[in-house]
Amino acid sequence: MSKIFPSNPVPTAAGIGLRSQHIGEMLSRRPSAGWLEVHAENYMGGSAAVDALEQLRESYPLSIHGVGLSLGSSSGLDRDHLERMRKLCLRFQPSLVSEHLAWSAADGAYLNDLLPLRYDAQAIIAVAANVSRLQDTLQRRVYIENLSAYVAFEGSTMTEAEFLTELVCMTGCGLLLDVNNVYVSASNLGFDAKAFIDQLPARAIGEIHLAGHAINEIEGDIVLIDDHGSRVPPAVWSLYAYVIRKIGPRPTLIEWDTDVPTLDVLLGEAMWADMLAQSIAFEDRMLAERPAPPTSRFEGMILPLRPDSPKGPMPALAALATIKPSVFANHSGARRIGHAL
């Protein structure tokens, strides 16, 4: 009988997608990583990869990411595929389960891609019915991911953000916000990425994806391709920082599916995500605890001593070291102190 694991939560830290190239190294090294995400369809049968996942599941919280349920299909979900998903989740007890706002099957034919929907009243009814059936079957909240887009349907009556918001209202599902997908779609279709994020219900966002993309020039036009084949680019990091400042930290996955790098490169990208989130949390904390504006000429001498400030033989120097460089730059007295030190 297969082992059934206890459920443990995915932390609000960065995780990595488990790729076949890294399984052996993951088993031998057990490196520090917030959590792992696997594609559901790769683990629905019996294989060495499933055995390896059983071992890794002992050490890491898990997210299961579906790519084949075709939630946008008007004919409903494939019963056998849904049952395989149920058994997989029952066995590995992932903390998070997610799927895409897309379709990939029709009339018994399956397409090796995630295709966009026309966002209208008819589509929302069909998708909501599929999401509700999925959640009822798995007996858990499922997180739905926004797509990267290259074309838009002329007949759509709502935006993707409006569609996702309505889907949350109708089904109680959560959202997986793929920041790279937002950036790619915004660039290709010409909308404001931050405005898209502002429209989403922040409380429903339970997971974030980050990835790289390719930049192609086609007949003079720039088209971004969501290929998950490179480091997270600066523009996507910047948009991620906007999201974290707006909604707070969330479990964040580094996706890398093509030209997969070494495990250490992947872990390094996850480390950057953690550092960025922690830096923003520190800034927010310091802003919240900022003292009242100084009223004397000795304002630069007021050190941010708090109950949890550094202790030791020279606490004033330790506290001084926590002051941002910008404080010194704007005060001549403080500049003198800093120079003397």
User: According to the model, what pLDDT value does residue 2 have?
Assistant: 53
Residue 95 tokens, joined: 């903390």
CB-CB contact of 200 with 175 (8 Å): yes
CB-CB contact of 12 with 251 (8 Å): yes
CB within 8 Å of 304: residues ≥ 6 apart: 289, 291, 319, 322, 323
CB-CB contact of 324 with 330 (8 Å): no
Compute the C-alpha angle 27/30/34, nearest 5°.
125
Residue pLDDT tens, the chain, 341 long: 455 566 678 899 999 999 999 999 999 999 999 999 999 999 998 889 999 999 999 999 999 999 999 999 998 999 999 999 999 999 999 999 999 999 887 777 777 778 889 999 999 999 999 999 999 999 999 999 999 999 889 899 999 999 999 999 999 999 999 999 999 999 999 999 999 999 999 999 999 999 999 999 988 889 999 999 999 999 999 999 999 999 999 999 999 999 999 999 999 999 999 999 999 999 988 888 877 766 655 454 444 445 544 444 333 444 444 444 443 344 433 333 333 33
User: According to the model, what pLDDT value does residue 317 have?
Assistant: 40
Tell me how far apart the alpha carbons of residues 331 and 293 are, in angstroms, rounded to a whole number.
13
User: According to the model, what pLDDT value does residue 220 have?
Assistant: 85
SS3 (DSSP) at 333 = helix
Tell me how far apart the alpha carbons of residues 284 and 124 are, in angstroms, rounded to a whole number.
38
User: According to the model, what pLDDT value does residue 3 have?
Assistant: 59
Tell me how far apart the alpha carbons of residues 316 and 52 are, in angstroms, rounded to a whole number.
52
Tell me how far apart the alpha carbons of residues 208 and 329 are, in angstroms, rounded to a whole number.
36
Neighbours of 133 (CB within 10 A): 17
Residue 27 tokens, joined: 């088993």
H or E element that contains 295: none
User: According to the model, what pLDDT value does residue 6 have?
Assistant: 63
Tell me how far apart the alpha carbons of residues 169 and 171 are, in angstroms, rounded to a whole number.
6
The helix-helix angle for 79-92 and 121-138 (nearest 10°) equals 40
Residue of 223, 67, 236 whose CA lies nearest to 150: 223
Question: What pTM was estimated for this model as a whole?
Answer: 0.83
